[in-house]
Amino acid sequence: MKVDLDAYDRDGFLVLRDFLPSADCDALQARAAELVAGFDPGPARTVFSTRDQGHARDAYFLGSGGAVGFFFEEAAAGQPVAVALNKIGHALHDLDPVFDRISRQSRLAGLAAAVGLQQPLLLQSMYLFKQPHIGGEVGWHQDATYLYTRPSSVTGFWIALDDADRDNGCLMVLPGGHRGTLRKRFRRAVAGMVLDTLDETSWPAITPVALEAPRGTLVVLHGLLPHASAANRSARPRHAYALHLIDGRAEYAADNWLQRPHLPLRGFS
Ligand code: FE2
């Protein structure tokens, strides 16, 4: 597969329209709906929000690195599960056969090789709902904050399963911002999860660019690229599937939140 590596090196992202076949988008959405239908949250709903570090103490969150966990929107109190979830994560690609098949198709393997992952490992998968009206914002961050390797290798494949635009919370990026340093690190510590500041440097003074993405578009995100997404205040959903890969040649930090003691990481085979 050929991609514009000059653009990727310059900008820290690539927007690949019509990457995932419509049938695969359909299959992921249908399977997610089945998983939701089969999910009984019981009395304790687990709220996940990147702005609320309260989740950091939550064993459910930590265990989801090797499981299929369900996370609610903050603003969804009392709403039915089907319209209240923020995401499903983080090992769908290893534990669910539909997500496994689509995540490990040859087009994705080819893309991973094309962007320089020599020993790609599929580390994390998330089905992101960004529900109509209540889908929360995701603040500016670098994915290497959460998935840290030495050297940095985490690479995001973000796939629009609905048309994503400014009104329903499409991705926002700071082009070229991946050439800066890693600012923060989220890690396990004795007392729980902590967010360390590694570098106080503010984000570069670059005008954010909205990556409007029709269904089936795949966005490659460099692990150091600052990105965000606004809340969804529209009446339309903005489902997306995000897969994060690392290079097996890099050292995976033992204090990353995501640990897989019982489920070895796999590549594309
Ligand atoms: Fe991210």
The average confidence (pLDDT) of the chain is 93
CA of 143 to the centre of ligand 1 (A): 5
The answer to whether residue 75 scores a pLDDT higher than 90 is no
Determine the 3-state secondary structure of 244 from DSSP.
strand
87-104 tens-digit pLDDT: 999 999 999 999 999 999
CA of 225 to the centre of ligand 1 (A): 9
The amino acid at residue 203 is W
* Measured distance CA(91)–CA(36) in Å, rounded: 15
CA of 144 to the centre of ligand 1 (A): 9
CA of 84 to the centre of ligand 1 (A): 21
Domains and CATH numbers, the chain: 5-252 (2.60.120.620)
* pLDDT of 12: 98
CA of 221 to the centre of ligand 1 (A): 8
Which runs of consecutive H residues, i.e. helices, occur in the chain? Answer: 5-11, 22-37, 59-63, 81-84, 92-95, 97-103, 106-114
CA of 157 to the centre of ligand 1 (A): 10
How far, rounded to the nearest angstrom, does the alpha carbon of residue 84 sit from its chain's CA centroid?
18
User: Is 129 within 8 Å of 155 (Cβ atoms)?
Assistant: no
CA of 242 to the centre of ligand 1 (A): 9
User: Is 66 within 8 Å of 263 (Cβ atoms)?
Assistant: yes
* Measured distance CA(187)–CA(59) in Å, rounded: 14
The answer to whether residue 234 scores a pLDDT higher than 70 is yes
The answer to whether residue 64 scores a pLDDT higher than 80 is yes
